[in-house]
Chains A and B, each alone.
Chain A
Amino acid sequence: MNPQIILVADDESHILSVVSLKLCNAGYRVLKATDGGEALELALQERPDLLITDYHMPVLSGLELCQRLRQAGLSIPALMLTARGYNLEHSDMINSGIQRMISKPFSPRQLLAAVQELLDDSANQPWPRQNDEIDSTDQEARHVSA
């Protein structure tokens, strides 16, 4: 089975490295982006299974990134990793597909657990997709390759 792909977007390179290493060691394939624009491009190209994003980033904020991805029809579960002291508005989270908020400082162990949980959830009960057509072909393709 091909490893699941996780896109990590953070402008703090230390955080980016540590999250990537933790996920790589756990057997995932990790894509890294240092700003929102780069992350959007990578996500549309590579169609990852999950997005982990920072809130404050140059070009596009984490929230804007998630919204743009949904607009583009790519509705993957997203986990926001942020140093903001408070949570986002619930409506913002719902509208942009952010399923989990983890605040910095964070524990890589707990982050990994949350990632596994989100991926299991999306495998068992597919996250309500906006663009069914793209997604069904996408899932089929994955099924064949698996």
Chain B
Amino acid sequence: MYARTMYIVSQASLAAGVGATLFMPQVPALWMPAAILVACGGVGIAATAMLLRRATAHVVTQLCKTHSQPPFNVCQQVNTGFEVLNRAWADVNESAARALAAARLRVRELELQLRLAAAERQHAQATQLAEVKNDFVSMVSHELRTPLASIKAYVEMLIDGEAADPRTQHQFYDVIQSESNRLGRLIDNILNISRIESGAVHFRKKPEDLRSITLTAIGMIKPQAAQKRIALTHDLPAGPCHASVDRSLLDQVLVNLLSNAVKYTLEGGSVHVGLSVDPATSRIVAQVTDTGVGIQPEDLPRIFEKFFRSETTSRMAPGTGLGLALVKHIVETVHGGRLFVKSEVGKGSCFGFELGLGAPAPGDLFGVPPSGGPPQDRVNAELRTALEGAMA
């Protein structure tokens, strides 16, 4: 009997254990089967103890009764006692079986609940992914349409002879050129971020003059700054300052930082570019400071995340949320540098990066190490596919 009860209790434990193993992947849910296990054991042991006590008490009472009433039949009384004991054990068995059945049912119920929760989670993730993809595609298309709109409109105006004098015509050509550049930069941003993340881009680091890279970037942003009457000033070292970098990628970093500064600074503000070399640490520091709208402190930790757009900035100007993510990849992943940002709402922001001057390694061809996040990240992969689909 005792063995049978133990067997039943152990079966209950086993069932709960199986339940637990079923849910091993959902570690936070492990406590549930564990609780059932403990509960089954507890119920079994408590029921056994209670019934044993009841049966023993009955036998003793019967024995005492018969002793006081001679002639007594010990055998009969003992038999009665055993009968009571048997019934008691039967009760124990029955209640254990009931507890076991209830536990099994509960385990099944929990299993179903967990499956349902997992399915709901998957569904929520899929919905979120679809939303991110949708937002991204509409953002990208908006961003592509804007410069294209200028190009198309100005070309049509030239064709229709709406630009009367050569000076106006020249202005139109300038607009077409700078908007084409803007379109090109946007496409570069989109493609580069997806290439760097998938490890498909190869870059060539060689000694380059950061001063000339900075000046080129300033030249590219000048028309945008002039449009908004933003003063674009710089403070660069007198001579060239060399560092081992990939020129076209670093160009993108500076152009992105400058174009953001101009984009998020109101008309009549100013943007300042600083470049300095610290011979003591052999590090080169570049900074872009603006008098723009600034970034909310709670948004600061997230601004380098892909697709993240803060409330303030998205109200001010549309964007894809890719520029800063790309900047971070290029500075940190590709060049092993450090990116920093300081910002005060209403006063402005300062974005900058620090690079080691680095031992020149002419002609060295580096592969891109895997980026910060797992490259097989499903969201990234799907977005990349969406991106490539959209770009195709």
Contact = CB atoms under 8 A, between A and B. Distances in A.
B153 A13 contact: no
Interface stretch (A17-25, A70-78, A126-134): A17-25
A84 interface: yes
Contact of B315 (A19, A25, A58): A58
Contact of B228 (A13, A83, A109): A13
Contacts of B367: none
Interface in A78-117: 83-86, 103-109
A108 B132 CA distance: 33
A107 B153 contact: yes
B141 to A, nearest CB: 5
Interface in A35-80: 56, 58
A6 to B, nearest CB: 16
Given A11-B317, A12-B150, A14-B154, A105 B145 contact: yes
Chain B interface size band reads 20 to 34
Nearest to A18: B153
B156 A107 contact: yes
B133 to A, nearest CB: 14
A108 B146 contact: no
B315 A105 contact: no
Interface in A1-30: 11-15, 18-19, 21-22, 25
B317 A15 contact: no
Interface of A: 11-15, 18-19, 21-22, 25, 34, 56, 58, 83-86, 103-109
16 contacts: A14-B150, A14-B175, A14-B179, A15-B149, A18-B153, A56-B317, A58-B315, A83-B146, A83-B318, A84-B142, A104-B148, A105-B153, A106-B152, A108-B153, A108-B162, A109-B160
